[in-house]
Structure 1
């Protein structure tokens, strides 16, 4: 089919405007950033992402059942790899831009992208984020959970709880024909109200047909800014909340591991969502 392009939104030549076209064009003509039509997933694509999400959820359920003090992060990686492959899927992180493992394991002051290792052993009092991503039949899903090992301090426990609240609040702030900035504004407000900071250098993202798609979903910002949220868009919300300052750096030894600059703990929770006519639906439970 031939198409003519009006900025980001494509109209199909010879076909009348749909209600969705009219709504998106209204915002585009007012100067707002709108998604490309290719970011609006079909029902069949959403179902494929949902099936991928079922396996991704199963991965994290298995980790939740098995994780314990004395376990190496390499053992977590092995669980993830074997479960994913046994279910006919592929761990998306494995060999992605050179990442050497099947899952990210980020302990205490590691914000994200921690690389599993035989030498890294879970200790009493640790908090750890396990970030799993799955490819099934070409469809991607992505989610992470925090786990608390043994006797975790009240301060770390509160950080984990508030970060989970930030994910829920961000989800509730995302409404059809709202904006990405609405999500970040709500998360930042809740995190800072509790004395924490929001990592600026990393964000959520579109997902589904590729590992990382548009839009970038920042976890800080102003309401009414960023890309328009349109039914059919699939993306992650994954706030990274620091106990101290929001500054981070990448470990020069592996060029992957992101750590807090001040050495204080960080936490993260993540889901993959689809925007519906009524708000977000979680595709990774």
Structure 2
């Protein structure tokens, strides 16, 4: 993971522009999610939108510095008990009651922005609704704590408390992160911990807060080199924004 970087005014403006593009793209994908849709259509639409907006899909071809095979798609997409790093495949059809996580990154002029959403398909269970609501709430509760001088542990503790109060659990093996010219910069922002831990946030940092939440036990298992599922078969949900740290607070770039 690359070291923490402080963004210049020009870099901030580029990331603002990229963030707005990504937000619009995710909204368009969300509007195309319904029962009967082949998830590969979402991948094709995303790649087309990248071309139209002159941005690069950062996930496609990503190989974790050679430790893993190149990631096959521009989108990370998981359904129900699928968890992190899953991807769309042709012939997988969405059905009523599913919940769909879309997590993706784009690159504009060398700078990355990253965002995730979870979308219900038609009528979903109360448990699924509550999971989505809690995961989203945890993201915004943590974001509200972002400010120059605040420790990363404050964000982590906020996420964990919000999630566990609602009766759900956080995934402990995956985390948010800094972002910029690299998709993954320091600091690591886990979904658990206490407010006295971690480095202090600094004005000009750009970070990705990810709330990774499940209905049951947080253990996952690998289906292949990339894809994972919840070991107990429970539901998984993720929300994420790229956020600029400022002297007085924060700015969400991906909305």
Please state which band the TM-score falls in when normalised by the shorter chain.
over 0.9
DSSP 3-state at the match of 1:96:
coil
Question: How far apart in 2 are the matches of 1:257 and 1:102?
Answer: 14
Question: Which residue among 243, 255, 259 is the counterpart of 2:229?
Answer: 259
DSSP 3-state at the match of 2:83:
strand
Question: How far apart in 2 are the matches of 1:176 and 1:224?
Answer: 15
Question: Which residue among 163, 179, 192 is the counterpart of 1:191?
Answer: 163
Point out 4+ residue stretches in structure 1 off by more than 6 angstroms. none
The residue that corresponds to 1:161 in the other structure is 133
After superposition, the C-alpha distances for 1:246-281 in whole angstroms (9 at most, x for unaligned) are 111221xx3111211111001110000000011121
Q: CA deviation at 1:86?
A: 1.1
Q: State the aligned residue count.
A: 248
Question: Which residue among 35, 50, 54 is the counterpart of 2:20?
Answer: 54
The residue that corresponds to 1:180 in the other structure is 152
Q: Is the contact made by 2:212 and 2:236 (CA closer than 8 Å) also made in structure 1?
A: yes
Question: How far apart in 2 are the matches of 1:58 and 1:78?
Answer: 16
| Residue 137 (structure 1) aligned with residue 109 (structure 2) | yes
The residue that corresponds to 1:111 in the other structure is 83
Question: How far apart in 1 are the matches of 2:31 and 2:123?
Answer: 17
DSSP 3-state at the match of 2:234:
coil
Q: Which runs of 5+ in 2 are unaligned?
A: 64-69
The alignment yields a C-alpha RMSD, in angstroms, of 1.3
TM-score normalised to structure 1 length: 0.85
Q: Is the contact made by 2:147 and 2:203 (CA closer than 8 Å) also made in structure 1?
A: no
Question: How far apart in 1 are the matches of 2:89 and 2:37?
Answer: 11
Question: How far apart in 2 are the matches of 1:232 and 1:125?
Answer: 41
The residue that corresponds to 2:8 in the other structure is 42
The residue that corresponds to 1:64 in the other structure is 30
Q: CA deviation at 1:233?
A: 0.5
DSSP 3-state at the match of 2:136:
helix
| Residue 122 (structure 1) aligned with residue 94 (structure 2) | yes
Question: How far apart in 1 are the matches of 2:8 and 2:192?
Answer: 29
TM-score normalised to structure 2 length: 0.94
DSSP 3-state at the match of 1:41:
coil
Q: CA deviation at 1:174?
A: 2.2
